[in-house]
């Protein structure tokens, strides 16, 4: 069996299991013959579909997990320790592996905003309303970036421990920090997001 090197690298399995995958129908391929030789022809889309269907790691394969825990004697030890049947111990191992495999990795997403972000949001709304009322009298309305900087400077004066730098000196970074904190809050409240 001959494969182009790039396809063989993409599939990353040896020839014998690959032939078995083709014969079982999990991997679609066409066998070609010429000059007494045969080879397989694969479509890239079929190779991608096969890769998606294959387990990412051995722990994703229940058959491998079953063999692993049985061969290592883990099922016998657990059955003895917990006083249960071997079949039940094996099912518990498989269930635990499935739970571990399905658990999302990383930090769970935050469901609420930090308290100081809510303070920033209230202050931003107050300053914006104040400027809008003055803008009616002919004053020019400051940009949202400028209002965010005002919020940052006021917050720095009240709570310098929240800031690693002085907002007046690094105005762009400070305004961006406040703006990025306010965006999700404005979206949640169906207000126009900051530009």
Residue 160 lies in a domain: yes
Within 10 angstroms of residue 23's Cβ, the number of other Cβ atoms is 10
Which structure tokens are listed for 183?
Answer: 């965006």
Domain range for 79 = 58-102
Domains: count for the chain: 3
Identify the H or E element spanning 124: helix 115-135
Give how far the C-alpha of residue 19 lies from the chain's centroid of Cα atoms, to the nearest Å.
34
Q: Is 37 helix (H, G, I), strand (E, B) or coil?
A: strand
Q: Are residues 23 and 81 in the same domain?
A: no
Residue 18 lies in a domain: yes
**Residue after which a domain boundary falls, among 53, 72, 91:** 53
Residue 133 lies in a domain: yes
**Residue after which a domain boundary falls, among 102, 136, 163:** 102
Residue 97 lies in a domain: yes
In this structure, are residues 2 and 39 in contact, taking their beta carbons and an 8 Å threshold?
yes
Give how far the C-alpha of residue 127 lies from the chain's centroid of Cα atoms, to the nearest Å.
37
pLDDT tens string 30-81: 878 888 887 777 787 887 777 777 666 777 778 888 999 999 999 999 999 9
pLDDT tens string 69-82: 999 999 999 999 99
Phi, psi of 78 (to 5 degrees): -70, -40
Q: Are residues 120 and 156 in the same domain?
A: yes
């Amino acid at each position: 069996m001959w494969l182009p090197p790039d396809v063989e690298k993409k599939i990353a399995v040896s020839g014998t299991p690959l032939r078995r995958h083709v014969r079982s129908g999990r991997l679609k391929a066409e066998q070609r013959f010429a000059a007494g030789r045969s080879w397989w022809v694969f479509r890239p889309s079929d190779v991608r579909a096969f890769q998606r269907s294959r387990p990412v790691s051995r722990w994703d394969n229940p058959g491998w997990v079953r063999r692993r825990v049985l061969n290592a004697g883990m099922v016998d030890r657990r059955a003895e320790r917990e006083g249960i049947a071997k079949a039940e111990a094996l099912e518990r191992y498989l269930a635990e592996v499935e739970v571990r495999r399905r658990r999302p990795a990383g930090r769970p997403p935050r469901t609420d905003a930090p308290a100081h972000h809510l303070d920033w949001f209230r202050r931003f709304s107050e300053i914006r309303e104040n400027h809008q009322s003055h803008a009616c009298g002919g004053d020019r309305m400051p940009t949202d970036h400028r209002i965010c900087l005002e919020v940052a400077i006021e917050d720095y004066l009240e709570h310098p421990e929240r800031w690693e730098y002085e907002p007046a000196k690094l105005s762009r970074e400070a305004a961006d920090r406040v703006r990025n904190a306010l965006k999700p809050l404005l979206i949640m409240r169906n207000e126009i997001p900051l530009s």
